């Protein structure tokens, strides 16, 4: 990556981290203890419990991505940033713009 690409990617990761933090806050609001039956309205208690576990899974995956993005941001100035961990070829910039946290090129992931 050249310096211009690094800056572009840095801004993108920054933006995604901010957005993800907001999303996590919103999901957290839905992961509250299951409320007593009379407060649920049309939802049955089972449905409420179900919805809660879905939100928790979603929350975990968002938090995992947030951590990956943070470490990408941390490592962006390292010489091996953007180098595939499999074949050690540069990961295409286009791919990094879509998935800045990727550590491998598409073909290495497919061949894993």
Residues of this chain that bind Zn ion (CB under 5 A)? 84, 86-87, 105, 108
In whole angstroms, the minimum distance from the beta carbon of 72 to Zn ion comes to 17
Please check whether residue 17 is in contact with residue 63, taking contact to mean a CB–CB distance below 8 angstroms: no
**Spatial contact of 8 and 36, defined as CB atoms under 8 Å apart:** no
Cβ closest to Zn ion, residue 24 vs residue 104 = 104
C-alpha 77/C-alpha 75 separation (Å) is 6
CB of 102 to Zn ion, least distance (A): 10
Judge contact between 24 and 66, C-beta under 8 A: yes
Of 27 and 82, CB closest to Zn ion: 82
Cβ 105 to Zn ion shortest distance, Å: 4
Alpha-carbon gap, residue 36 to 16, rounded angstroms: 36
Nearer to Zn ion, 1 or 24 (CB): 1
């Amino acid at each position: 990556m050249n310096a211009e690409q690094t800056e572009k990617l840095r801004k993108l990761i920054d933006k995604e981290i901010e957005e993800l933090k907001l999303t996590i806050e919103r999901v957290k609001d839905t992961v509250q203890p299951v409320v007593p039956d009379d407060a649920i309205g049309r939802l049955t208690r089972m449905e409420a419990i179900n919805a809660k576990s879905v939100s928790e899974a979603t929350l975990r995956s968002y938090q995992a991505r947030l951590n990956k993005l943070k470490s990408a941001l941390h490592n962006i100035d390292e010489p091996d940033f953007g180098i595939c961990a499999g074949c050690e070829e540069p990961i295409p910039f286009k791919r990094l713009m879509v998935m800045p946290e990727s550590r491998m090129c598409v073909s290495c992931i497919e061949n894993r």
